[in-house]
Structure 1
Amino acid sequence: MTVSKNDILVVTTDSVPGREVEAVFGLVRGSTVRAKHFGSDIVASLRSLVGGEVKEYAALLAGAREQAYDRMIDQAALFGANAVLAVRMETSTIQQGASEVMCYGTAVRLK
């Protein structure tokens, strides 16, 4: 059974109301490490002087979250899962100026 990435249900809960888990494939995860760009770092530093959202960093992290999420979904599709339950995201600092974003959950097949 081939499952399209677009057909995979992703939820943060441990179950889906009205659906039964038919098979559990296990942990699926996706991660990426992103570093700040020197140019955006200067702009962000200037922006921090006046306050407000630091759009350069927000965009960087948004892209990292999307990539980690997509990689998790790719792994779930390889298992033939049609859902990923209990999805979580974490961010950690690797070094000054570089962060890892990880997205993980449990790949399952729902009836």
Structure 2
Amino acid sequence: MIIVTTDFVPGKEIKDLKGFVRGSTVQSKHIGRDITANLKTIVGGEIKGYTEMMNEARQKAIGRMEEHAKTKEANAIIAVRLETSAVMGAASEIIAYGTAVQVE
């Protein structure tokens, strides 16, 4: 599966538009990560536990978007975007979306 943020795939011709596809996940904080994060806010720096959590969430959302595109018999997804939002105080949603296409 080709996944790009552009409206086209370089060197490929779009032969069929398959439509909107998306994938999402909601990740909650872990109490151990919260303790570490609170300590890190005192001294500053990257909160690696949250960075890893968000990287995993993005990969899940992209993977689910890719699966959605496969159900439409697409071999590429163009105009891909990622967004995040707070669902509640301790959880965030990551959504990946784009346009499924068939390219040559």
- The TM-score with structure 1 as length reference comes to 0.90
In 1: Cα distance, 2:66 partner to 2:11 partner = 22
Task: Tell me the distance in 2 between the aligned counterparts of 1:18 and 1:94.
Answer: 39
Residue of structure 2 in register with 1:86 after alignment: 79
3-state SS in 2 of match to 1:103: strand
CA distance in 2, matches of 1:63, 1:17: 28
Aligned twin of 1:3: none
Stretches of structure 2 that go unaligned for 5 or more consecutive residues are none
Scaled by the length of structure 2, the TM-score of the pair is 0.96
Q: Secondary structure at the residue paired with 1:91?
A: strand
Q: Which runs of 4+ in 1 moved over 4 A?
A: none
Residue-pair matches, total: 104
SS at match of 2:74: coil
**Superposed CA RMSD:** 0.8
Shift of 1:33: 0.3
Q: Gaps spanning 5+ residues in structure 1: where?
A: 1-7
Q: Percent identity?
A: 49
